[in-house]
A and B are shown apart, each in its own frame.
Chain A
Amino acid sequence: MSEPRTVPERIAGPATFLDDRLGAGGFVRRNIRKVFPDHWSFLLGEIALYSFVILLLTGTFLTFWFKPSMGEIVYNGTYAPLRGVTMSEAYASSLQISFEVRGGLLIRQIHHWAALVFIAGMMAHALRVFFTGAYRKPRELNWLIGVVILSIALFEGLTGYSLPDDLLSGAGLRVTQGVVIGLPVVGTYLNFFLFGGEYPGGDVISRFYSIHILLLPGLILALVTAHLILMWMQKHTQFPGKGRTNRNVVGAPFYPAFMAKSGAFFLFTFAVIAALGTFAQINPVWLYGPYSPADISAGSQPDFYLAFLEGALRIMPAWEINLFGTSQVGTIPLSVVIPALVPLGVIVVGMALYPFLERWLTGDNREHHLADRPRNNPHRTSIGMAAVAFYGVLWLFGGNDIISANFRISLYTTTWAGRILVFVAPALAYAITYRVCLGLQRSDVAVLAHGVESGVIKRLPNGGYVEVHSRPAEDIEAHLRGKEPVPVLPYDETVPPKGLRGPLGRLRLRMSRAYGGEKVPPVNGHPHDEDGQAALQEGQNRALTR
């Protein structure tokens, strides 16, 4: 078949119909060949997006059978071990979906796996955006939308895995209640409003259900739409490289290449999640039994994305204060309030404020469309890694009982290790990352100044041996040369500008000078293409790469 020279009638007809009514031709003309830059790390957000689509599809399927009711019934279904057991309708219908609906177990497991992949994808995407500085002007608003989506998704997950009303989900609900009721001043009220009375009451499942299937997904859907529209309008960032500047975007066109690639990537994401849902058992609620507040199983763990809160609860010392002694007011259970609010607050508020703090420190008000390589802004990368270490320690110690059991370490030792590491690990991560970034920058400088090691050993006339260095590939060189110094506030040693005179101004200036500037001076010349030259500069070379 030959390529079409004109639009086939079957497409031209409906297109004309639509354009007559919508006038969309101009929009399509501008956008049908919209260029999308290509890099593997730009696909992380797509993983989250496609997981969300899968969540909507599979979640809708589950609602057809799930009964969000805490009304008690005697189980009479096909799962023999639980027959005759009194349980909530929610749990019974979860069992029904798992055992009596064809494909029900598959969809349930896909839904749960997709939730994990959704949040993991968002986290990875957020880290990519952070470490490459892709949140900078003009993308701060989209960054904020992303932070809000991620925060909502945590609650979406929490309300979701509480629904089956099995023993494990009930344990999670109980911990949630213990945290809610501990909040100063409002805790008791929130508890009664959320549960319709005392815990567990008879309302929480149906309330969580409407929050989980309507309120939060609606919000997420709206925010995801806004996120995509802004991304579309502002065009995607790209890494520096040959022909790629801050003023252009280089890559594949939306139609046909990017569209087809995205479709394929959706199918890949779906295939991986479907494989996980098929072969990797997740949340086998029938093994846990119905919820009772009197029972618990050892090794109860939340889904991975809430484990950092769990870890914070576990390593927190037993602090509690009664502001007014024995009078019935003023109890603040710090051992609950601090781990519940501080880590989440530090991470979410820190993420939300970072673009603005950085702009305040660097005074950089330009538009940025070239992504930074993480090494080229060492303080930002170190701060990010410190946050990752902080989160990682809390996450790890959300399973300290498992660590203790598997590695035969005393349980209390693991708790103390967590208490120390939560402060030490971020500091270490900061220091190590900073050194690594500078080392990588020096290595880039060495490549630019002396070329890459060729693996060819050459014997010199004087009998010495040297390795031949050759010029790096052109786009690698362009990639390396894309480095820009981190901006610093303009300053004058003698007369500081007006805004930088007070104590805050002086602090700002000092932090700016520490944060910004060129830590490793770049080279201006081109790498030497001559073997001998490279050899002669061997000593300097070694000093640079060490």
Chain B
Amino acid sequence: MTDNEHETGRPERRRPARVIGTPLSDTPFSGTPFSGAVASGIPDAGDVDHGLPAVPGVVPQDERKARRAERIAALCFTLAFAALVAFLVAYVRFQVGGLSATGASHVALGGTLTLALLALAAGIVIWVRQIMPKYELVQQRHPMASPEDVRAEVAATFVRGTGESGIVKRRLLRRTLLLAAAPLGLAPLVLLRDLDSSGVPAAQLHRRLGHTVWGEKTKDGRPLRLVVEGTGQPIRAADFNSPGGILSVVPQGYEHDLNVLAKATVILVKFRPEELRAGTKPNWTHDGIVAYSKICTHVGCPAALYEQTTHHILCPCHQSTFDAADGARVVFGPAARPLPQLPIGVDEQGYLIALGDFPAPVGPSYWERGDAEARARENGGHS
């Protein structure tokens, strides 16, 4: 739909200049509502002289308008040039470094680049719309399908070529070729096996998901201490004594091991003993301090938000909500299982330690997980 600025004929009868509900006469759906005469796209020969032969569907612009447009387009291009020079100057003048210096350089470079692109684009649009002719060229389409005789010839040639190759007649050739091709396709897949560099047989991979470092001991055979995430401070049970308190906790010695943190991070909540309910294993707590896996059982985000009044642990990713006072059972959201509870106690110096691993795999579910909670109950607490 090329924009055609039709010269509407003078209406024969008194009518409104523009019919309400129809577009303005210079918009694509222009027309001549009353006279019925439409500029067919054939230029009026005497109208303009471009030195070009008149072609149907090509309506040259009025030379006076075009000359004005040329000046505007030239202004745009000059502006773009100036903006690009400013871009180069800004690159040299503004050094990056601190926040404000980088900010200044960023705005100067981006601003000049934007201006240059915008001015260039505007200039070209003015060129196309006001200097180039209005086009309404017509081209014929042809059916996509090849003519029948071409198809027949291709088919005949194909059959002939196939016959010459002997692939149909020579069965032994064909079958051994297919035989050879099948393993060739498998080779790249086999090569990808070492994408997994854990060094564990494939059938054993899932066993690694079921354990965390909390089940291990330090070099001198002592249970791992719970330390505060970030500071690495061990936690003395007597100091973590305000009910409603919460800590994000990691195993001592692994504070910066992301692979360990992805499974072993724990959320520590302090309760008054009477607040705890049946879901929480009382002998895995210490003086009202309960430890749950911080890794959400939905897809593994850290369930980091805690609401003191309701004892709810909330995962900010998908809003799975767990009741910390009741074994972190699921209260709401897409998580299907409670956050596993970590058995904790204190060492002789009064610091919190892990008494063992989680009873069930932490984090998101996987095919080989099975009902690990029920399994743990059957085995008396541990999986």
- Indicate if the CB atoms of B299 and A182 lie closer than 8 Å: yes
Interface residues in B27-44 (C-beta closer than 8 Å to A): 28-34, 36, 38
With a cutoff of 8 Å between Cβ atoms, the chain B residues found around residue A248 in the complex are: 138-141
Interface pair B110/A320, CB less than 8 Å apart? no
Tell me whether B30 and A475 are in contact (CB under 8 A).
yes
- Interface residue? A497 (CB, 8 A): no
**B105 sits at the interface (CB 8 A):** yes
Question: How many Å from the CB of B158 to the closest CB on chain A?
Answer: 21
Q: Does any Cβ of A come within 8 Å of B143's Cβ? A: yes
Q: What interface size band does chain A fall in?
A: 35 or more
A141-192: which have CB < 8 Å to B? 171, 174-175, 177-179, 181-189, 191-192
CA distance A78 to B51 in the complex (A): 63
Contact (Cβ within 8 A) A333 B365: yes
Asked whether any CB of chain A lies closer than 8 Å to the CB of B353, the reply is no
Bound: A197/B202 CA distance, A:
11
Q: Are B31 and A187 in contact (CB under 8 A)?
A: no
- Given contacts A99-B102, A278-B114, A473-B30, is CB(A329)–CB(B370) below 8 Å? yes
Does the CB pair B202–A189 fall under 8 Å? yes
* Assembled-state Cα–Cα distance A183/B366 (Å): 7
With beta carbons under 8 angstroms apart, the residue of A72, A189, A326 that contacts B371 is: A326
Tell which of B96, B107, B330 has the most Cβ of chain A within 10 Å: B96
Contact of B259 among A98, A171, A199 (CB under 8 A): A199
Q: CB within 8 Å of A: which of B100-155?
A: 102, 105-107, 109-111, 113-114, 117-118, 120-122, 124-125, 127-128, 132-133, 135-141, 143-144
Q: Is A191 a contact of B298 with CB atoms below 8 Å?
A: no
A38-B2, A298-B316 are known contacts. Are A473 and B31 too (CB-CB below 8 A)? yes
**Contact A294:B34 (CB < 8 A) given known A318-B335, A335-B335, A401-B319:** no
Chain B residue numbers with a CB within 8 Å of A127 are: none
Binds A, one of B167-175, B237-245, B273-281, B301-309: B301-309
A299 within 8 A of B: yes
B1 at the interface (CB under 8 A from A): yes
CB within 8 Å: A-B pair count: 367
B261 within 8 A of A: yes
Q: Which of B109, B198, B202, B300 contacts A177 (CB 8 A)?
A: B300
Q: Which residues on the B side are within 8 Å of A328 (C-beta)?
A: 206, 368-370
A507 interface residue per 8 A CB criterion: no
Cα distance A271–B2 when bound, in Å? 25
- Shortest Cβ distance from A183 into B: residue: B367
CB–CB A295/B304 < 8 A: yes
B99 in contact (CB, < 8 A): yes
The reply to whether the CB of A250 lies closer than 8 angstroms to some CB of chain B is: yes
Q: Are A324 and B109 interface neighbours, CB within 8 A?
A: no
Choose from A79, A330, A336, A452 the contact partner of B19 (Cβ within 8 Å). Answer: A452
- Contacting residues, chain A, for B21 (C-beta < 8 A): 452-453, 455
Expressed in whole angstroms, the minimum distance between the Cβ of A465 and any Cβ of chain B is 16
A484 sits at the interface (CB 8 A): no
Interface check A33, CB cutoff 8 A: yes
A210 near B: Cβ within 8 Å? no
In the complex formed, the residue of B with least CB distance to A35 is B139
Q: Is A101 an interface residue (CB 8 A)?
A: yes
Q: How far is the CA of A106 from the CA of B113 in the complex (A)?
A: 10
C-alpha spacing A201/B298, complex, angstroms: 20
Across the two chains, which residue of chain A brings its CB closest to B30? A473
B residues within 8 A CB of A476? Answer: 22, 29, 31
Are B300 and A271 touching (Cβ within 8 A)? no
Judged by a CB distance under 8 angstroms, whether A128 is at the interface is: no
Bound Cα distance from A3 to B336, whole angstroms: 76
Interface of B is mostly: loop
SS class of chain A's interface: helix, strand, loop or mixed? mixed
Question: A17 on the interface (CB 8 Å rule)?
Answer: no
Complex contact A454–B368 (CB within 8 A): no
| Chain B residues, Cβ within 8 Å of A294 | 229, 248, 250, 261-262, 265, 294, 302
Nearest residue (CB) in A for B299 is A178
* Interface flag for A546 (CB, 8 Å): no
Which residues of A in the span 82-113 have a Cβ within 8 Å of any Cβ on B? 86, 98-106
Cα distance A194–B124 when bound, in Å?
A: 48
Note all chain B residues with C-beta closer than 8 A to A239: 1
| A215 at interface, CB cutoff 8 A | no
Query: Which residues of B, 141-199, contact A by the 8 Å Cβ criterion?
Result: 141, 143-144, 192, 195-198
Contact indicator A252/B319 (Cβ below 8 Å): no
Min Cβ gap B313→A in Å is 12
Please tell me if A227 contacts chain B, counting CB pairs below 8 Å. Answer: no
A474, B32: Cβ atoms closer than 8 Å: yes
Q: Let me know if A455 and B300 touch, CB within 8 A.
A: no
**CB-CB under 8 A for A196 and B366, given A103-B109, A320-B336:** no
A245 to B5, CA, bound (A): 22
Residues of B within 8 Å of A175, CB to CB, are 299-301, 317
- The one of A257, A274, A314 in contact with B110, judged by C-beta atoms closer than 8 angstroms, is A274
A15 lies within 8 A of chain B by Cβ:
no
Q: Are A271 and B316 in contact (CB under 8 A)?
A: no
Query: Is A316 an interface position by the 8 A CB rule?
Result: yes
Among A72, A103, A247, find the residue whose CB has the most chain B CB atoms closer than 10 A. A103
Return chain B residues, CB-CB under 8 Å to A251.
1-2, 135-137
Q: Is B68 an interface residue (CB 8 A)?
A: no
- With a cutoff of 8 Å between Cβ atoms, the chain A residues found around residue B67 in the complex are none
Residue numbers in A under 8 Å from B202 (CB-CB) = 189
- Which single residue of chain A is at the shortest CB-CB distance from B370? A328
Is residue A325 within 8 Å, beta carbon to beta carbon, of the partner chain?
Answer: yes
Stretch in A262-270, A343-351, A432-440, A516-524 touching the partner: A262-270
For residue A325, which residue of chain B has the nearest CB? Answer: B371
Please name all residues of chain B whose beta carbon is closer than 8 Å to the beta carbon of A297 when the two chains form the complex.
316
Nearest chain B CB to A279 CB, angstrom units: 7
- Could you mark each residue 258-278 of chain B with 1 if its beta carbon is under 8 Å from any beta carbon of chain A, else 0? 110111010000000000000
B residues in contact with A315, CB < 8 Å: 334
In the complex, which residues of chain B have a beta carbon less than 8 angstroms from the beta carbon of A191? Answer: 366
**16 CB-based A-B contacts, threshold 8 Å:** A3-B52, A103-B105, A106-B110, A188-B209, A197-B197, A248-B139, A250-B136, A251-B135, A253-B137, A256-B132, A271-B114, A279-B107, A326-B374, A367-B143, A456-B15, A475-B30
The 8 A-B residue pairs with the shortest CB-CB distance, nearest first, are A473-B31, A178-B299, A278-B110, A320-B336, A267-B121, A271-B117, A293-B262, A264-B124
